[in-house]
A and B are shown apart, each in its own frame.
Chain A
Amino acid sequence: MKVLVAIKRVIDYNVKVRVKADHSDVDLTNVKMAMNPFCEIAVEEAVRLKERGVATEIVVVTVGPKAAQEQLRTALALGADRAIHVETEEQLESLAVAKVLKRIVEEEQPGLVLLGKQAIDTDNNQTGQMLAALTGMAQGTFASEVAVEEQKLKVVREIDGGLQTLELTLPAIITADLRLNEPRYAKLPDIMKAKKKPIDTRSVADLGIDIAPRTRLLKVQTPAERQAGVRVASVDELIDKLKNEAKVI
């Protein structure tokens, strides 16, 4: 079974985000970028499916700027077989990305599509579900366990209140939650080998897909800062403050 994994280049999760002075957006100049952590988990799961003999080929795809090839190389070093780079310097919305991915799904005909559950920049949590809608496939979102059995896929999902198990008809879309697995590190020989693996580059414009923005970002602000409060010296003082000053207990 061919597995398609969609990944995104985002700001590194350790970076403290700065808002531009004109409040037009977040400032990404000279900021460390990396593969979105949830996407790393999706790649790792694909590699594990291949190691288990379930996946026969792993194709990794990204929709993003030229620099996103770095993240494709990382995925190739982790075990993906080849990559597709749909190049655009614009920041596409989830719906547009889902439309591009739908086109790739039609071309590649994967048995399973893996994505992260959300990107840590826009925090949208939409693309996988939208791709499932556009392709008419079943979706297993927020997956913490995936097992392929014949033409079915069993997925354990993290839901409010606990876990839910669903059985999906393949081909299907899975979005990875944090607990799905622990991604491995790429070894140096694998990084060297990844340089020889093919990346097929396409331009969004050539695909003839409607990527016109459906939303307008009016402004971006820094959230109201919470101020550090007071230190209390004892449990007694803490209870007293909560009762008499904050009046919350």
Chain B
Amino acid sequence: MGILVVAEHHNGQLATSTARVVSAARVIGGDIDVLVAGSGASTVAEAAATLSGVTRVRVADDAAYEHELAENMAALIAILAGEYSHVFAAASTAGKNFMPRVAALKDVAQISDIIAVESADTFVRPVYAGSAIATVQALDALKVVTVRTSAFDPVEMAGSAAIEALAIVENIGVSRFVEEQLASGERPELSAARIVISGGRGLGSGENFKLIEAVADKLGAAVGASRAAVDAGFVPNDFQVGQTGKIVAPELYIAVGISGAIQHLAGMKDSRVIVAINKDEDAPIFQVADYGLVADLFEALPELANKL
């Protein structure tokens, strides 16, 4: 029956998360089609066609899909879903928004945020903020699944799939895009970065995040933050690493001035190497850190930036 993977893209660029979702789909095997829905999506479709393991890229190019409004996206995907045994998408804010709507339109369960595929109907996912790991079997014929992208390596861009244009326009008309305020950043994207350095309440102010940024620049790292730092207004909320923010699993995660609340750990504890810099030697973050430095961050960060 095959698997439909819903591509994620921003500003005419295919997001790296899509290569990771294809990677999860490949564990099951069979034909994998990628759906690119958007407005002016031809470059994205061409990029998607190079993903290894993809048979066909199906393109729904219409203004109705421009901002991935859940109502329109779900209606489109639900029409296509009849041709597939599985529909996969990234557990990004976009995927989380439209996929449950697809599942309900098809009257099937959704399996959210999987971290492993055991078989065509059995998936592994964290529950209770990552405090427990559940293995779940989907009993419906159609499996609607969102994928925690940090748990899968991306497939290579060495394929050459066929591109097919779809003429399905679903404009439900109950929602309208007004505007977007995106945090600008030249640094790597948080969820895809190889190195992440995050600051917490210990930074004391938004101004002091410059100390974090100086180290990030030396390492080519993305900058993250704890919920406490976001709630205190130090940085915008899309910096937030945690259960209610972004889930990251970089090679190196440096937590500075972060105590290590369970909410935060849920978002970063699968990082390969964790470093904690904190002046409180009893901070829970030290219980998960591979390397811990008990120090005043206002001294340690400039020194680190200098010596790298």
Decide if B76 is an interface residue (CB 8 Å cutoff): no
Decide if B33 is an interface residue (CB 8 Å cutoff): no
Partner of A235, one of B128, B137, B307: B307
Query: When the two chains form their complex, are residues B129 and A165 in contact, meaning their CB atoms are under 8 A apart?
Result: no
Please name all residues of chain A whose beta carbon is closer than 8 Å to the beta carbon of B94 when the two chains form the complex.
Answer: 159-160
Partner of A239, one of B172, B195, B304: B304
Known contacts A126-B110, A239-B304; decide if A120 and B129 are in contact (CB<8 Å): yes
Query: When the two chains form their complex, are residues B69 and A166 in contact, meaning their CB atoms are under 8 A apart?
Result: yes
Please name all residues of chain A whose beta carbon is closer than 8 Å to the beta carbon of B174 when the two chains form the complex.
Answer: 136-138, 168-169, 172
Partner of A219, one of B10, B69, B97, B135: B135
**Which of A63-71, A72-80, A127-135 is found at the contact surface with chain B?**
A127-135
> For window 162-199 of chain B, which residues contact chain A by CB distance below 8 Å?
172-183, 191, 195
Q: How far is the CA of A95 from the CA of B108 in the complex (A)?
A: 7
Known contacts A167-B175, A232-B293; decide if A218 and B70 are in contact (CB<8 Å): no
Q: Number of A interface residues at 8 Å Cβ cutoff, please give it.
A: 78
Query: When the two chains form their complex, are residues A216 and B136 in contact, meaning their CB atoms are under 8 A apart?
Result: yes
Query: When the two chains form their complex, are residues A242 and B252 in contact, meaning their CB atoms are under 8 A apart?
Result: yes
Query: When the two chains form their complex, are residues B291 and A238 in contact, meaning their CB atoms are under 8 A apart?
Result: yes
Name B's interface SS: mixed
Known contacts A163-B181, A223-B126; decide if A133 and B252 are in contact (CB<8 Å): no
A93's closest neighbor in chain B, by CB? B109
- The smallest C-beta distance from A231 to any residue of chain B, in angstroms, reads 5
Decide if B159 is an interface residue (CB 8 Å cutoff): no
Partner of B304, one of A11, A168, A238: A238
Decide if B156 is an interface residue (CB 8 Å cutoff): no
Q: How far is the CA of A93 from the CA of B243 in the complex (A)?
A: 21
**Which of A53-61, A81-89, A139-147 is found at the contact surface with chain B?**
A139-147
Which residue numbers of B lie inside 8 Å of A, CB to CB? 10, 67, 69-71, 74, 92-94, 96-105, 107-113, 122, 125-140, 172-183, 191, 195, 219, 227, 231, 236-238, 243-244, 246, 251-252, 262, 269, 272-275, 286-295, 300, 303-304, 307-308
Name 18 A/B residue pairs within 8 A (Cβ), A-sorted. Answer: A11-B128, A93-B109, A95-B108, A121-B128, A123-B112, A126-B103, A129-B104, A133-B102, A142-B93, A162-B183, A162-B238, A165-B179, A166-B69, A215-B138, A216-B137, A219-B134, A220-B132, A223-B131
Which residue numbers of A lie inside 8 Å of B, CB to CB? 11, 16-17, 19, 26, 93-95, 98, 120-134, 136-142, 144, 154, 157-169, 172, 177-179, 213-223, 226, 228-236, 238-239, 241-242, 246, 248-249
